[in-house]
Structure 1
Amino acid sequence: MTTFQQRFQSLDTWLKMHTQLWQFDTFARLDNPWKSAYPELAELLERENLEIENETFYREVFRLCPDLKTALNFSKPDLIDQSAQRTLTNDVPSYVSAGIKGRKWSQIQAFVARTPKANNYVEWCAGKGHLGKLLAFQDNKPVHSLEWQKTLCEAGEQEAKRLKIPQSFTHADVLKGEGRPSLANAHCAVALHACGDLHRELIEQVIAANTAMLCISPCCYHLTQTSHYQPLSQTAQHSTLILRQADLKLAVKEVATAGAREQRLKQLELTYRLGFDAWQRTARQQDDYLPVPSIQKALLNQGFVAFCHWAAEQKDLTDLISKTPFEDFEAIGQTRYQQIQKLEAISQLFRPALEHWLVLDRAMYLEENGYQVDIGAFCEKSLTPRNWMIRATRT
């Protein structure tokens, strides 16, 4: 059994033991879904003025459920070794990073510092090709950037001409296999924060094309066309853990880099949605959750009642408004928001383990197909919460 397999099996066992604490739909239930299974923990969450997500809170959680302390083992990945062939990229002239926000540029620099040098590169889901731009500038080796939005390809080509670097673009839909010819000639494929099916497709196509090297940072595992997760590796296929899209969303559910305004709006929107949900259950006399589409954030500034009018129109419930006024339900939304925050303070303990499980599935799949694989963080979490890197070299 490989190191990855051993690590996977222990993670898999631990996650399965505690599915009640993390595998539930936050909005669907009005009560605590694991109250009867973990009564003492549920009682802790019901305390008034409970401050969650601080050391005192988690110390009490671990006292009541000592096995949950295992979560600390998965809290963050170790930094993956910097590529021996590279020096850190802090000395790149500022005109190369023009037009790239500081945090994104720092992520790109950290990713490149841990990418082995190659004779040529394919940049997968490139956007404007910022990652490929730095590789082409540093290494002076050809970079072929694939992107499905034509306007981004054109912007990237203009930038490559401005810098006189060997970077070319192809307008391609990689999910339709239009990236395969490029991978067939690639020495190294790279992708920073490719979402769901996009990075999964890259892994499968790299193996099929026999590409020598792969460096990816996976992201947004829930952006997939399947309703349930389809494991890649043979080891993960033998697991009895069944992951829904909602569970895959938990693997990336954190707002470590969001600003105060963004967090305030998110809290307000969630409160309004929960208040409206309580209203529609009462008005329809049906105790089930009714999903409402995404909104323009500007609507939140108009207040709870305006939001409810909009939501009622979306769900064809306007005829119920006169019988059940909205006003009484904003306070219910606030109470439910507090309850959900407490439940998520527990489910969040499982988030790093779940992401680690998914990364290991990809690493084992590459190992099974003849690659030597390293996994770890390419940067600190403060720079991006999605900081896992999978680095594979065909043996």
Structure 2
Amino acid sequence: MNDSRRWLWMAGLALGGWLLYQLLPILSPFLIGVLLAYLGDPLVDRLERWKLSRTAGVILVFSLFGLVLALLLLVLVPMLGKQVMRLYELTPQLLDWAQHQALPWVQTRLGLADGFWRFDQLKAAFSGQLGKTTDILGMLLSQATASGLALLGWLANLLLIPVVCFYLMRDWDLLVTRLRSLLPRRREGLVVGLAGECHEVLGAFLRGQLLVMLALALVYAAGLMLVGLELGLLIGLLAGLASIVPYLGMVVGLGAALAAGLFQFGGEFSPLLAIAAVFMVGQMLEGMLLTPWLVGDRIGLHPVAVIFAIMAGGQLFGFSGVLLALPVAAVIMVLLRHAHDFYKLSALYGESPSGSEEPPSPA
């Protein structure tokens, strides 16, 4: 009977995994809705403690999300669009500067042979595309018209996200209670404990690290724009987003900002020093204020685990895999930690539950 039940569970898990893989193309809006509902549920719970009804709290949080999205679309997106187009226009000049100034300097210092760098073909190919900039919108419209069903599907998925988010946020506590009632009674405590640890890891990363990312993006973008860097907003936001992995944002942002500063300011030392100071201030704020305040001493995911999980999820399952990567990594991390504890207490490791004992010294 036990063997039959075990095989039944394995068959059920295999069938569930197969169905999940087959449904991946339509899972993206549901996963994004679940993520937004997970992030918004603590705010709704806090509003409930302030004597506000669950539905009213959901409407208030949902309106807050919509207001933030509207501000991004109305203010940030046009500014970023202008900077992206400016970067597109400056790229041939950047290539020219790299070919005739930066790379010859590196070539002289490293003693490389003449003609080691070959940028002529790349520069010619990119410059030839600049004349087609005004045709980009027409090209996109023609492709959208040619694949009308794909466009309708994309719009339907986009409109589905707020619907899924609203209903999940409203019924989140009810769904959690129902799921808990389905657990085997003898295993309820163990499963609830593991789920609580997964929630701690994932919540610390998502609610903590994402807020740190946004704060650093604002600090970097504002600082670089105050310095006068032409592409400061774009580089600052990219550096903040790259901060999902600790220290990666500073490395990527500082390198890109210094390269852009060298191109814009030439050999002037003061602007480059100011750019470096912006990232130093950002790192000090992250280490002394943002991370202790927003993340605290809760358990987070290791940076290497974050990089591997995101890349593996994207490689195996596309965009849906990227969305699933961090929750799955959090669960695996908790299970591995418990497996490590069981291994340390097992006879294979050689320790008893009361701790290891010193071997008797030879007489």
| Same fold per superposition (TM over 0.5) | no
Say which one has the larger Rg: 2
TM-score under structure 1 normalisation?
0.24
Higher strand share: 1
> Which structure exhibits the higher relative contact order, with contacts defined as CA atoms closer than 8 Å and separated by 6 or more residues?
1
Higher helix share: 2
TM-score under structure 2 normalisation?
0.25
